[in-house]
């Protein structure tokens, strides 16, 4: 889990409304598909928005209230599915956007889930471990009546981690008096997690990037990369891509952005983070990289591939004209605003959109849920082999849709997602 207090190394995340952006993306694809009013009504809006005020006893004996949300956007294709974010800037609109993207993402990769997301308005770096555990347990205890292995299955997101998922699973199991490992995914291996889940988001991105590189006639060997965010998605992206001959020129996290034109020693960066509370604090003193004066300059570096792996709304109309990357692989959700998208498309930047690119996480979460339901646990080779097949097939499906409709990959991915959800919703029909 990474800490997000202190200096801001990216643009303020809610300077733009993520849910409005999500609806703009929906409208673009819906227009190409010529959806009817009824079809839009069936799938666009979230089905359930839960708002909670969580009382938590702090270490000094005081009680603090934390605002929290869980949004179940769609249950047409299966139980709602999506992570829980702990961040001081969480809003209900952000969670609605993330839940909507989950619906689309699950449909794009064909895993049998709807879309959901949760968020707690908190800066977890300000809590002690005990306070963090009590907050996590209280959130899950309050949510217990609205979730279930066949209802809504949470997972990790920004600032939540396998330990928090273990507390979630334990809280729910104690409440229901039933061993319920499938209530949440992204758990530690010892608490019925899946092999391969930790690196799944980055691994899925790598499979789609390999497909994109192949499609564009480029080569993985020698690719110059910049990665924004060095948590689960970002650091695992660096770990997986460096051995393929890619040069990780720049990395960043909440503490700043760090550059080495000859390639950052990824092992050294991982070790540094391990020794500095999960952050790149003072990484420039390691001798491995220099610190950029403006961390946002990372997004404008002369690289082949840019991997946003932090938060929403990082590439905006202000900096999009200066982006030099040929490919953007969106590990983060919603890193590019719709206006910036138009500028990047005009420039010919190939974007692997979030609802495709980072779907490896939910795909292995699906494998974890299946393993929990059957009680039979897979070897890592099986996880990777199945993930590989699903991600590459999804990439090719989206690419075919892009070529067929003559639209960018993002619109194509939404077309694939919307067609799938609409078809299921129509076949199921309206109950009562």
* Minimum gap (Å) between residue 252 Cβ and ligand NAD: 5
Task: Quote the tokens at residue 49.
Answer: 């928005």
Number of amino acids touching ligand NAD (CB under 6 A):
28
DSSP codes joined into one string, 135-171: HHHHHHHHHGGG-BTTTEEEEE-TT--HHHHHHHHHH
**Contact call for residue 331 and ligand NAD (CB under 6 A):** yes
**Contact call for residue 253 and ligand NAD (CB under 6 A):** yes
Task: Quote the tokens at residue 345.
Answer: 């498309």
β-partners of residue 168 are none
Q: Which residue of 171, 194, 358, 422 would you call a contact of ligand NAD, by CB under 6 A?
A: 358
**Contact call for residue 292 and ligand NAD (CB under 6 A):** no
Interface mask toward ligand NAD for 332-351; x: CB under 6 A: xx------------------
* Of the candidates 258, 230, 225, 268, the residue with the CA atom closest to the CA atom of residue 244: 225
What is d(CA 416, CA 305) in angstroms, rounded to the nearest whole number?
25
* Minimum gap (Å) between residue 141 Cβ and ligand NAD: 23
CB-based contact 115:106 (threshold 8 Å): yes
* Minimum gap (Å) between residue 145 Cβ and ligand NAD: 26
Going from the C-alpha of 29 to that of each of 22, 51, 409, 412, 421, the distances in angstroms are: 11, 30, 11, 7, 13
**Contact call for residue 232 and ligand NAD (CB under 6 A):** yes
**Contact call for residue 249 and ligand NAD (CB under 6 A):** no
Could you tell me the strand order of the sheet in which 80-87 lies? 48-57, 63-74, 115-121, 80-87, 152-156
Going from the C-alpha of 113 to that of each of 76, 136, 164, 201, 343, the distances in angstroms are: 8, 24, 22, 17, 33
In angstroms and rounded to an integer, the radius of gyration of the C-alpha atoms of the chain is 20
* Minimum gap (Å) between residue 337 Cβ and ligand NAD: 14
Phi–psi pair at 187, nearest 5 degrees? -80, 160
**Contact call for residue 361 and ligand NAD (CB under 6 A):** yes
Nearer to ligand NAD, 30 or 127 (CB): 127
Nearer to ligand NAD, 35 or 398 (CB): 398
Choosing from 81, 105, 117, 247, which is the catalytic residue? 117
**Contact call for residue 231 and ligand NAD (CB under 6 A):** yes
**Contact call for residue 310 and ligand NAD (CB under 6 A):** yes
Residue 117 designated active-site? yes
Find the part of the chain contacting ligand NAD (CB under 6 A) among 5-13, 373-381, 389-397, 423-431: 5-13
Q: Which residue of 106, 233, 299, 383 would you call a contact of ligand NAD, by CB under 6 A?
A: 233
Q: What residue is closest to ligand NAD based on CB?
A: 231
The kind and range of the H/E element at 311 are none
Binding interface with ligand NAD (CB under 6 A): 1-2, 4, 8-10, 156-159, 201, 229-234, 252-254, 309-311, 331-333, 358, 361
Q: Which active-site residues does the annotation give?
A: 117
């Amino acid at each position: 889990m990474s800490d997000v207090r202190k200096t801001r190394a990216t643009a303020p995340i809610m300077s733009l409304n993520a849910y409005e952006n999500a609806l703009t993306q929906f409208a673009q694809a819906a227009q190409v598909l010529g959806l009817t009013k009824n079809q839009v009504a069936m799938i666009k809006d979230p089905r359930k928005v839960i708002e909670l005020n969580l009382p938590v006893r702090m270490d000094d004996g005081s009680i603090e209230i934390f605002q929290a949300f869980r949004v179940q956007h769609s249950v047409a294709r299966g139980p709602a599915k999506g992570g829980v974010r702990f961040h001081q800037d969480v809003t209900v609109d952000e969670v609605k956007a993330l839940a909507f993207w989950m619906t689309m993402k699950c449909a794009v990769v064909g895993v049998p889930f709807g879309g959901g997301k949760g968020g707690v308005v908190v800066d977890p770096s300000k809590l002690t471990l005990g306070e963090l555990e009590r907050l996590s347990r209280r959130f899950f205890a309050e949510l217990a009546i609205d979730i279930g292995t066949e209802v809504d299955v949470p997972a990790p997101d920004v600032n939540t981690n396998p330990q928090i998922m273990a507390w979630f699973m334990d809280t729910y199991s104690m409440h229901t008096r039933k061993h319920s490992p499938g209530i949440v995914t992204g758990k530690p291996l010892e608490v019925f997690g899946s092999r391969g889940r930790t690196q799944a988001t980055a691994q899925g991105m790598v499979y789609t990037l390999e497909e994109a590189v192949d499609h564009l006639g480029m080569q993985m060997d020698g690719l110059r990369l910049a990665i924004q965010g060095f948590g689960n998605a970002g650091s695992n992206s660096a770990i997986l891509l460096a051995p393929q001959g890619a040069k990780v020129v720049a990395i960043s996290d909440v503490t700043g952005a760090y550059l080495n034109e000859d390639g950052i020693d990824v092992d050294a960066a991982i070790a540094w983070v391990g020794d500095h509370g999960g952050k790149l604090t003072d990484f420039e003193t390691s001798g491995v990289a220099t610190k950029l004066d403006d961390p946002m300059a990372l997004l404008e570096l002369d690289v082949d591939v840019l991997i946003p792996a932090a938060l929403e709304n990082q590439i905006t109309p202000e900096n999009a004209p200066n982006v030099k990357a040929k490919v953007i692989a969106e590990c983060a959700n919603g890193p590019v605003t719709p206006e910036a998208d138009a500028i990047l498309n005009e420039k010919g930047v190939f974007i692997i959109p979030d609802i495709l690119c980072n779907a490896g996480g939910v795909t292995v979460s699906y494998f974890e849920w299946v393993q929990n339901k059957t009680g039979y646990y897979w070897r890592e080779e099986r996880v990777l082999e199945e993930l590989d097949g699903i991600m590459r097939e999804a990439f090719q499906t989206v690419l075919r849709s892009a070529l067929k409709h003559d639209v960018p990959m993002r619109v194509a991915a939404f077309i694939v997602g919307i067609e799938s959800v609409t078809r299921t919703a129509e076949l199921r029909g309206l109950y009562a």
